[in-house]
């Protein structure tokens, strides 16, 4: 992990991604940098349950279809996502 300050919480609501990624798109996302810290209320990209400020959130900067996206995960969901990506490759 790069740091402990989540970066997605600082984005204005209009710039936050509102479209849910498909399972196939999520599997194709190529992870880059990663941060861990308190949740900021964004939905987990794996399970779609909001990550509250009382929970730990992993934010992953990823490449998807030539664009950079910020993915939000519960720790257990991040592990499941990485496992599914590893099995695919």
User: How far is residue 42's CA from residue 39's CA, in Å, rounded to a whole number?
Assistant: 7
Q: How many structural domains does the chain have?
A: 1
84: in domain: no
What is residue 13's predicted lDDT score, i.e. its pLDDT?
44
76: in domain: no
Closest CA to 85 of 4, 29, 17, 14: 29
What is residue 18's predicted lDDT score, i.e. its pLDDT?
62
What is residue 9's predicted lDDT score, i.e. its pLDDT?
64
Closest CA to 70 of 79, 62, 58: 62
Q: Is 25 helix (H, G, I), strand (E, B) or coil?
A: helix
Q: Which residues of the chain have pLDDT under 50?
A: 2, 4, 12-15
pTM for the complete prediction?
0.78
What is residue 19's predicted lDDT score, i.e. its pLDDT?
74
Please report which helix (H) or strand (E) contains residue 44, including its range: none
DSSP state of 50: B
What is residue 11's predicted lDDT score, i.e. its pLDDT?
57
Range(s) of the domain holding residue 47: 23-65
């Amino acid at each position: 992990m790069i740091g402990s300050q989540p970066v997605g919480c600082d984005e204005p609501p209009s710039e936050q991604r509102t479209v849910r990624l498909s399972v196939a798109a999520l599997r194709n996302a190529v992870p880059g940098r990663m941060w861990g810290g308190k949740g900021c209320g964004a939905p987990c990209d794996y399970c779609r349950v909001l990550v509250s400020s009382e929970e730990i959130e992993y934010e992953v900067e990823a490449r998807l279809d030539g664009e950079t996206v910020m993915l939000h995960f519960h720790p257990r969901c991040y592990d499941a996502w990485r496992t599914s990506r590893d099995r695919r490759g």
